Amino acid sequence: MPVQQLAEVLAFGLVGGLIGYATNAVAIRLLFRPLRPLCVWRLCIQGLLPRRRREIAVRVARAVASRIREGRLLSRYHDRLGRAMEKMIERMLGEQLSSSRAAALLSVLGGAGVVEGLASAVAKAVAPRLVSLVEEAASMIDLEEILVEEFESMSVEELERMFWQAAGAELRFIEVMGFLLGFIVGLFEGLLAVALG
């Protein structure tokens, strides 16, 4: 293939790549921008997040709340909360008993490990009841509503910043893939133009 034809094919590839990159970059930006509707004649555009913020907030909150209420997440939370409460109660009782006159009496009567043993036994007995009280109180709270309120209290700029922090590498990958796919399509178009021209 002569140099001139090769340059033509590469030019097609570069133009296709730039178009693919620009298309994906604009599409990603349109998730967040423009913040307010931009109308030209009868066509109005606005970013997905600013336009459907409430609906997205409700859907995300509903999905998160249902995942929390159901399945293994709640049981893992229950187990960890129980262990944490047990440790806290044991530590608090141990501190209280060690600093009291009763500690001296207990140590004399049963040895050095009595205070720790008593604190541990009380903690194991009390923690499950405290966990069930906390969970009962939590069930009275509308988690979905709290999540929606939190989502809506954030500015679109904050949400955009969070989104880029969480998925920035993936979004840049989408932009680069747009370039690569556009480049490949452009190369094929260039080859076709050279072959037919």
What does the pLDDT average to over 22-46? Answer: 88
Share of the chain above pLDDT 90, in %: 22
Which of helix, strand or coil describes residue 44? strand
pLDDT above 90 for 147 = no
Task: Please name the residues in contact with 81: beta carbons below 8 A apart, sequence gap of 6 or more.
Answer: 131, 134, 135
Instruction: State residue 135's pLDDT score.
Output: 73
Nearest Cα residue to 127 out of 103, 91, 100: 91
Token pair, residue 157, equals: 């700029």
Which phi and psi angles does 155 have, rounded to 5°? -70, 160
Instruction: State residue 189's pLDDT score.
Output: 93
Q: 21 falls in which pLDDT band (50, 70, 90)?
A: very high
Q: 26 falls in which pLDDT band (50, 70, 90)?
A: very high
Instruction: State residue 100's pLDDT score.
Output: 64
CA gap 2, 159 in Å, rounded: 52
Q: 36 falls in which pLDDT band (50, 70, 90)?
A: confident
pLDDT above 80 for 116 = no
CB-CB neighbours of 68 under 10 Å = 15
Task: Please name the residues in contact with 34: beta carbons below 8 A apart, sequence gap of 6 or more.
Answer: 45, 46, 47, 50
Nearest Cα residue to 45 out of 56, 32, 60: 32
The parent domain of residue 132 ranges over: 3-196
| Contact predicate 147/69, CB 8 Å | no
Q: Which residue has the higher pLDDT, 30 or 119?
A: 30
Would you mind telling me the total number of residues written for the chain in this entry? 197
Q: Which residue has the higher pLDDT, 196 or 113?
A: 196
Question: How many structural domains comprise the chain?
Answer: 1
What does the pLDDT average to over 38-65? Answer: 85
- Arithmetic mean of pLDDT over the chain: 82
Tell me how far the alpha carbon of residue 141 is from its chain's centroid: 22
Query: Quick one: which H or E segment has residue 113?
Result: none
pLDDT above 70 for 102 = no
Instruction: State residue 188's pLDDT score.
Output: 94
CA gap 195, 121 in Å, rounded: 86
Instruction: State residue 11's pLDDT score.
Output: 93
pLDDT above 70 for 8 = yes
